[in-house]
């Protein structure tokens, strides 16, 4: 019986089988060479290779050729490691938190004789669309870009920061946001606060969802209702902290304390509170998250959760280098604790409040 399967499909199956059996383990022979070996036209081979590239079995590197997507062949090629930050972070790499994180990553990468590159265009991460420029990448992951991250995980070693992939298929390093934020609220409750506001960050990610849940959980365990009016949605920026501060000052009665999902918003809220004539912590206590450099030098100094930035960088780089070298650790997810740093922005609520 005549095989009616299109020739390019048969070529595709032969190439896939050659990869599976180890006959082809790295770079494919040239397409014209393959055509001669298989007794088919050059265009038939080209179509078969194109489909295998689209399916992620192969990838092309400009001027170099076509390669098998086998992570075990990963090694130091460019000497560069990328760092990608989602554009939804308004201040980008200049934000106080991410600038600290990037600096720590740079230092950690340099110890391993690599260079750290800031990648601003997602297409630069995709070997299908551009020549390979990096050996691996650390990505601050948010759910809105996860589908794009999943699309490149077979081509490029990746470690995620901030959030984990929904299917937990990519190594990650994150903070225990739930318990860390719970500790902040528990500390305020121990001081006697009962009416505690919360300024959230972007609620489209597990980072702030977990911080919000930690806030609510601590209140619930102390028998305090989480009133909807005591929640304000920010976006991690200083300006949204100012808006949150103004909102809470408009309430009657005002909260006696405010927990903020990051330090930038806490500083914005503090500015508005002080400009209104109220005193921190005498009239309102404020807690942040991250422990950016300015947190310890503002007046009053900011009580906050110190993100373990140096440890995050060390873990992320170590995992990524293992991935680059082919030492795979399936479903490796590191969760680090943030430490509550008690400074001068919190106190027992005054009797009149």
Single out the residue of 212, 157, 152 nearest to residue 181, CA to CA.
212
Rounded average pLDDT over 173-186: 97
Q: What is the residue whose two structure tokens read 């995709």?
A: 126
- Cα–Cα–Cα angle for 220, 224, 226, rounded to 5 degrees: 75
Higher pLDDT, 95 or 224: 224
Rounded average pLDDT over 161-190: 92
Contact (CB, 8 A) for 207 and 239 = no
Rounded average pLDDT over 34-54: 88
Higher pLDDT, 128 or 39: 39
The tokens of 216 are what?
């609510």
Cα 22 from Cα 9, distance rounded (Å): 20
The tokens of 288 are what?
């942040």
The tokens of 211 are what?
């911080």
Cα 18 from Cα 25, distance rounded (Å): 8
pLDDT digits (tens, 9 = 90+) for 265-303: 999 999 999 999 999 999 999 999 999 999 999 999 999
- On the question of pLDDT at 203 being above 50, the answer is yes
Could you say which DSSP state residue 101 is in? H
Helix H, strand E, coil C: the string for 253-283 is CCCCEEEECCHHHHHHHHHHHHHCCCCCCCC
What torsion, rounded to 10 degrees, do the Cα atoms 83, 87, 88, 92 define?
70
- Domains of the chain in sequence order: 7-69 (1.10.10.10), 80-175+310-338 (3.40.50.2300), 177-306 (3.40.50.2300)
pLDDT digits (tens, 9 = 90+) for 211-265: 999 999 999 999 999 999 999 999 999 999 999 999 999 999 999 999 999 999 9
Cα 97 from Cα 42, distance rounded (Å): 53
Q: What are phi and psi of 106, to 5 degrees?
A: -55, -45
Rounded average pLDDT over 311-337: 85
Cα 74 from Cα 135, distance rounded (Å): 8
- Cβ within 8 Å of residue 336, ≥6 positions away: 173, 174, 175, 176, 308, 311, 312, 315
- On the question of pLDDT at 202 being above 60, the answer is yes
* pLDDT score at 329: 61
Label residue 327 by pLDDT band (50, 70, 90): confident
Contact (CB, 8 A) for 45 and 16 = no
Cα 115 from Cα 109, distance rounded (Å): 6
- On the question of pLDDT at 308 being above 50, the answer is yes
Task: Give the C-alpha distances (Å, rounded to integers) separating 139 from 36, 79, 81.
Answer: 43, 18, 11
Q: What is the residue whose two structure tokens read 């399967």?
A: 5
State the DSSP string of 24-67.
S-SBPPPHHHHHHHHTS-HHHHHHHHHHHHHTTSEEEETTTEEE
Burial string for 145-180 (b: 16+ CB within 10 Å, else e) reads: bbeebeebeebbbbbbbbbbbeeeebbbbbbbbbbb
Rounded average pLDDT over 298-314: 97
């Amino acid at each position: 019986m005549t095989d009616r399967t299109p020739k390019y499909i048969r070529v595709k199956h032969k190439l896939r089988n050659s990869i599976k059996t180890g006959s082809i383990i790295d770079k494919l022979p040239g397409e014209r060479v393959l055509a001669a070996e298989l007794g088919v036209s050059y265009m038939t081979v080209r179509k078969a290779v194109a489909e295998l590239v689209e399916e992620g079995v192969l990838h092309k590197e400009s001027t170099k050729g076509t390669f098998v997507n086998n992570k075990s062949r990963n090694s130091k090629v460019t000497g560069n490691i990328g760092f990608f930050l989602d554009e939804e972070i308004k201040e980008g790499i200049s934000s106080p938190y991410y600038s600290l994180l990037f600096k720590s990553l740079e230092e950690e990468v340099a110890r391993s004789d690599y260079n750290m590159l800031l990648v601003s265009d997602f297409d630069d991460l995709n070997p299908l669309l551009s020549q390979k420029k990096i050996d691996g990448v650390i990505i601050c992951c948010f759910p809105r870009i996860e589908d794009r991250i999943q699309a490149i995980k077979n081509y490029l070693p990746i470690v995620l920061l901030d959030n984990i992939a929904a299917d937990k298929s990519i190594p990650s390093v994150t903070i225990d946001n739930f318990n860390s934020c719970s500790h902040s609220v528990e500390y305020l409750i121990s001081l006697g606060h009962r009416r505690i506001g919360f300024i959230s960050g972007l609620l489209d990610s597990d980072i702030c969802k977990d911080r919000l849940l930690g806030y609510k959980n601590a209140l619930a365990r102390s028998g305090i209702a989480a009133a909807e009016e005591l929640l304000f949605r920010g976006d991690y920026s200083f300006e949204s902290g100012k808006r949150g501060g103004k909102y809470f000052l408009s309430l009657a009665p005002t909260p006696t304390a405010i927990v903020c999902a990051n330090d930038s918003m806490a500083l914005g809220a503090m500015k508005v509170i002080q400009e209104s004539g109220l005193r921190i912590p005498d009239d309102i206590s404020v807690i942040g998250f991250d422990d950016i450099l300015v947190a310890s030098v503002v007046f009053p100094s900011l009580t906050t959760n110190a993100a373990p930035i140096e440890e995050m960088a060390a873990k992320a780089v170590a995992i990524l280098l293992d991935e680059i070298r082919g030492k795979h650790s399936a479903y490796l997810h590191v969760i680090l604790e943030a430490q509550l740093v008690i400074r001068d922005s919190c106190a027992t609520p005054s009797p009149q409040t």
